[in-house]
Chain A
Amino acid sequence: MKYLIIESRDPFDSGDVPQLYAVAKSLRADGNDVTLFLVQNGVLAARPSKHSDALSAVAKTGVQVLADEFSLRERGIAANRLASGVSASPLDVVVDQLAEGRKALWH
């Protein structure tokens, strides 16, 4: 199965964000193709910090971790200085993966 998980929340503000990362890792461990797309304040975790290690750990399992370019720009986060395993991406990817029929979850 293919999954699209959209994280809009800031891990510094929402204690349940790591649980969504765990869902992504778990789905990947079961052999699924998983994209974790960060948007809005969700991209704050992509800036190298205490919380970005958890995000990099998700990427290491094979989950594709993307951060919305627009949200990054809004927050002054340089797209070329993101945490290991995280890539900047246009929001178009979400539309394309929805059209592809991925199971989608917004948090």
Chain B
Amino acid sequence: MAKTLTFALMDPPYEDARSTTALRLIDLALRRGHSVNVFAYEGAVYLPFAKQAPHPNAVHGRDVEQEDHPNPKNWIAALLALARQNGSKLDWVQCGLCVDERGAAEAIEGLRRGSPADLFKFVEESDNTLVIPTR
């Protein structure tokens, strides 16, 4: 039976395996048909930052294509597409205060700006919530 799960994320991209694990969990939940809410706050508001760009690796002599550098914004776009494709829901809220502090307003499409009040609402409406705190 489909449930609603909420994940609260704090970590910025390129820092810790927690971000990868969080995105793996969201992917699995969507593939099982669950609705997923995400509240991204603090550094996590940079996970869907639109200006992330792949880069070459001069040290190893690889161009952009060979380096195949992963950008979390693409993974999140893929999760949004997955939710649309299988009829589930991914409601991703970016903490507005955290966004403004960090100048991270240029996020990919399909997300929305919110506040901690959205997290409270998510928790009240969800079957379960997992907070993945930074260390």
Interface residues of A (CB under 8 A from B): 6, 8-9, 39-41, 70-71, 91-92, 94-96, 98-99, 101-102, 104, 106
In chain B, what residue has the closest Cβ to A40? Answer: B17
Chain B interface, number of residues (Cβ within 8 angstroms): 19
Contact B133 A101 (CB under 8 A): no
Bound-state Cα–Cα, A9 to B33, Å: 30
Contact A95 B29 (CB under 8 A): yes
Contact B24 A70 (CB under 8 A): yes
Would you give the shortest CB distance from B101 to chain A, in whole angstroms? 24
Would you give the shortest CB distance from B131 to chain A, in whole angstroms? 6
B32: A residues at CB distance < 8 A: 92, 95-96, 99
B81 within 8 A of A: no
A41-B17, A106-B133 known; A91-B128 Cβ under 8 A: no
B25 within 8 A of A: yes
Which of A70, A92, A98 is the one whose CB lies under 8 Å from B128? A98
